[in-house]
Amino acid sequence: MDRFTLSPAHFDSLLKRYGITPGKNPSAQWERASSAQRWSLAKAIVKKTLAWMAGRHPKNGQQQILKAYDGQWKKKAFSRYLPQVDQGGAPWQWGDLKWVMSNEAGAAVRLLFLEEALNQLNPSSVLEVGAGNGINLLVLAARFPLIKFSGIEPTSGGVETAKLVIEDGELPDALVSFSPFPLSDVSAPARIRMEQGSAEHLPYADASVDVVMTSLALEQMEEIRHEALSEIARVAKDWVVMLEPFRDVNQSGQRRAYVRTYDYFQGSIAELARYGLKVEQVCLDMPHKSILGTALVLARRIR
């Protein structure tokens, strides 16, 4: 198994756009954000424990998750992705470096890794499962205009938001500025196929897409993990690319408590073999929120 790496220079250049300078000694801002995060987790743990003691068994099921995300996508305008200095956000870390970053800047970091993966694999077609508001598809389509991009998203809010750009025919200026890499064709997103649907039943034939991709989508699919992974493996012709909070990087301490409390994805990288996926490259050491580790996996579909 090979290690997937990304040039620190690309990462440093991106953070400079947000006025962020990571440091080994956490800033006061990082300490405050981290403390607030721990306090929020502690309250959630107590609330869930009391519910269990009262005979209730609360879980973040798919219907609850979809309702929350549907509202989120409807409210989140693409103008919010325009890079700004001092946006605040959550505590992040990479090795011994620590900094505070917004969710929008975090999306740009993940795009750096997804772009490098597609650059290596050079597919003709890509399907993103759990595409959200289409942020990854829209920017990657403009970066790789020769790739046929498709997206499946269970919420109407996410699909409608993405289609505003697709139907407009051109990437908005805010997303052009947001892109962490040079773009080739800002009209390419108009060719994206975006559909509403569930990862449990992907409307694609067996081995019909070169690469099936997920980015913090399986995170919210623990309840349907087996079905989703089965469908992803079925549809993939050659590769599966997953940037997810695998158990391998959330095995202990605060991260494990966070995953279990909020019923997030708890699958391991080794489990992918059960679905006919052979892991070829993996990155276990990538920038992530301090409370939730993420890993990038490139797995080949074994026929």
> Residue 51: its pLDDT value, please?
75
pLDDT at 210 over 80: yes
Tell me the pLDDT tens digit for each residue of 118-157.
999 999 999 999 999 999 999 999 999 999 999 999 999 9
> Residue 2: its pLDDT value, please?
57
pLDDT at 6 over 80: no
Domain spanning 2-301, CATH architecture: 3-Layer(aba) Sandwich (3.40)
142 CB contacts (<8 Å, ≥6 apart)? 171, 175, 176, 179, 183, 184, 185, 186, 188, 189
Which three-class secondary structure state does DSSP give residue 280? strand
What CA–CA distance (Å, rounded) separates 268 from 258? 16
According to DSSP, the β-strands at 295-301 and 97-101 are unpaired
Give the tokens for residue 232.
Answer: 């992803």
> Residue 1: its pLDDT value, please?
54
Tell me which residue of 78, 105, 83, 73 sits closest to 92, measured CA to CA: 105
**Mean predicted lDDT score pLDDT of the chain:** 91
Tell me which residue of 244, 250, 228 sits closest to 279, measured CA to CA: 244
Tell me the pLDDT tens digit for each residue of 221-250.
988 999 999 999 999 999 999 999 999 999
Q: For residue 216, name the pLDDT band (cuts at 50, 70, 90).
A: very high
Sheet architecture: strand order including 277-283: 2-3, 277-283, 295-301, 236-244, 209-215, 125-129, 148-153, 193-196
134 CB contacts (<8 Å, ≥6 apart)? 151, 153, 158, 161, 162, 163, 165, 166, 192, 194
Tell me the pLDDT tens digit for each residue of 146-174.
999 999 999 999 999 999 999 999 999 99
Beta bridge partners of 272: none
Arithmetic mean of pLDDT, 166-187:
96
pLDDT at 253 over 80: yes
Model pTM?
A: 0.93
